[in-house]
Amino acid sequence: MDEKELVRRLKRGDKEAFDALYEKYKNILLRMAYLVSGQMFDAEDIVQETFVKCFVHIGELKKEEGFQSWLFQIMYRTAYRQIKKRGREIPDENIIIRADAVDGITSLDRIIITEREKQINDAVQSLDFKHRAVVVLYYYNEMQTKEIARMLGCTEGTVKSRLFMARKKLRGKLMMFGEEGRGYEKIKNQEENRGLYFL
């Protein structure tokens, strides 16, 4: 059954449709929430609250094909409120050490396997929430700037500006890493071929 039909059924209160959508998106949202918040217990709370809000407010979604962006937007806003409430912008230093222990997040196996890459991840985690979020969405989730703008409720120009500032801050930090700034050169070369590199 395609996603649009699942969303239509969810609007009618179909629990099986909700379960199917939950299974489809739970790990994606958990990865996003974890990378943005830096704490697994926060990420789990964020995802749980996101799905509760999804179930309660699904009737407000006008176009079924916009479900994914709408769900990601709920997650982002929930994460922002939770992190702001806890007053913790920079996650704990052991985020990477615990990454592999998370059940079901197999892509985290690829995160930070060398000391230089750990430094890069630390640089990403040191960004403030709004810059860290666009880096996660753009590089990790490989979303287009237009999609990110819709999700965050801002203009595409704002997203591009935040990405520009995030790259600038990351470069400044990475110039201090590696031999003769090789971390900076590596990140520079990756800009046209984005992927999971930052993470």
Distance CA 8, CA 2 (A): 10
Would you call 144 helix, strand, or coil by DSSP? Answer: coil
Residue with tokens 């179909």: 14
Alpha carbon distance, N-terminus to C-terminus of the chain: 33
Distance CA 48, CA 159 (A): 27
Give residue 177's pLDDT. 57
Pick one of 1.10.20.140, 1.10.10.10, 3.40.640.10, 1.10.1040.10 as the CATH number of 112-199.
1.10.10.10
Distance CA 98, CA 82 (A): 21
Residues 81-125: tens digit of each pLDDT: 887 777 654 444 444 434 444 444 444 444 434 455 667 677 787
Amino acid at 111: I
Q: Which residues contact 45 (CB under 8 A, 6 or more apart)?
A: 82
pTM for the full predicted model = 0.62
Q: With bands split at pLDDT 50, 70 and 90, how would you rate the model's confidence at 8? A: very high
**Domain 1-111 grouped into CATH 1.10.10.10:** no
Distance CA 123, CA 38 (A): 13
Burial label, 130 (beta-carbon count in 10 A; 0-12, 13-18, 19+): middle
Residues 120-163: tens digit of each pLDDT: 677 787 888 889 889 888 887 788 999 899 888 889 999 999 99
Domain edges within the chain: 1-111, 112-199
